[in-house]
Structure 1
Amino acid sequence: MKEASANMAQGELRESALTIESLTAQLVDLQKETHGWRERIAELEAALVKEKNTSRKMLADKEREVAEIQAKMQQQLHEYEELFDVKLALDMEINIYRKLLEGEEERLKLSQSPSSHETMSRGSSSSGSVRTTQGKRKRVDIGEQNASSSMSKVHTASATGPIYTDEIDRGGKFICLQNSGTERAPHTAKTACLIM
């Protein structure tokens, strides 16, 4: 009886030992698997951190590029506004000179009419240029004459302001005005010529 009980106990012990050995092997396998998963998790976390850093750097670069583009656009807009202001000033100046030239042309037409002061003279072949003086200014245009005899006309024009006639083409191709005053619009020249 006792021997049978001892044999049964030994059998149970062997089974328990086998079970423990099997469980121990399973535990080792699970530990290895867990270690592998932990390494995988660490790799993924490192890759995630690297990807975040790369994304942040790319985002910072894009933001910097956008800021540079906006700055360039703002600068170009400012330059365009300045050029537009200059264009407006030049347009105003051109209109002013155009009106002055139109008025001068009208005065020249009146001076060339039969009712205007016109002096006829005969002389030898010669050519002349036009010059004016301050205050009341007189303009003389003497054309080319024939060798034998020719006619020359003397036209008079006056101006009481700083704008006066500086040069008139005999063929009517151009007329130039001179500004003797000290006040001029920005980006303006002292002499303006109108090509007919």
Structure 2
Amino acid sequence: MQNQIDGLRARNAALEQQLEDMEMSHMDKVGSLEAVIAQLETQLCETKLEMTKYLQDYQELLHIKLKLDAEIATYRKLLEGEESRLGIAKEV
């Protein structure tokens, strides 16, 4: 009986060691995955900031374009008015 008990204790110790090794391995993997997640979150924040800047630049350019379109329309209307007043035929 004592031999069986000693054998079971040895097996139990081996299984506990295996469990501890697996836990350590798991903790190492979790740590490396948390580092990857932190890096990706940092990249995501940087990308969001960059996209915000691009959106602001786009909105500014769109605003300028709309102002230029309005100015071109005004000059076109003035030019057409002058052409009508002078009787100049419009070429297409």
What is the TM-score with the length of structure 2 in the denominator?
0.78
Q: What is the root-mean-square deviation of aligned Cα atoms in Å?
A: 2.4
TM-score after normalising by structure 1: 0.41
Deviations 1:132-166 (A, max 9, x none): xxxxxxxxxxxxxxxxxxxxxxxxxxxxxxxxxxx
Q: What residue identity is the alignment partner of 2:40? A: K
Which residue of structure 2 lines up, in the alignment, with residue 98 of structure 1? 76
Alpha-carbon shift at residue 102 of structure 1 (Å): 1.6
What percent identity do the matched residue pairs reach?
32
Any gaps of 5 or more consecutive residues in structure 2? none
* Structure 1 letter corresponding to 2:78: L
Question: 2:62 maps to what in 1?
Answer: 84
Question: Does 2:5 align with 1:27?
Answer: yes
Tell me whether 89-98 or 59-68 shows the greater mean CA deviation.
59-68
Aligned to 2:52: 74
Q: Which amino acid aligns with 1:28?
A: D
Higher helix proportion: 2
Spell out, residue by residue over 1:97-132, the C-alpha distance to the aligned partner (whole angstroms, 9 max, x if none).
1122122212322xx8xxxxxxxxxxxxxxxxxxxx
Higher relative contact order, structure no. (Cα contacts within 8 Å, ≥ 6 residues apart): 1
2:29 counterpart of 1:54: no
Structure richer in strand, relative to its length? 1
**Which residue identity is paired with 1:39?**
Q
Q: Could you tell me which residue of structure 2 aligns to residue 147 of structure 1?
A: none
What is the count of residue pairs matched by the alignment?
92
Report how far residue 88 of structure 1 moved: 0.7
Tell me the distance in 1 between the aligned counterparts of 2:54 and 2:72. 26
2:21 counterpart of 1:43: yes
User: For structure 1, which runs of at least 5 residues remain unmatched after alignment?
Assistant: 1-21, 113-171, 174-194
> Which aligned runs of 4 or more in structure 1 are off by greater than 6 angstroms?
none
Larger Rg: 1
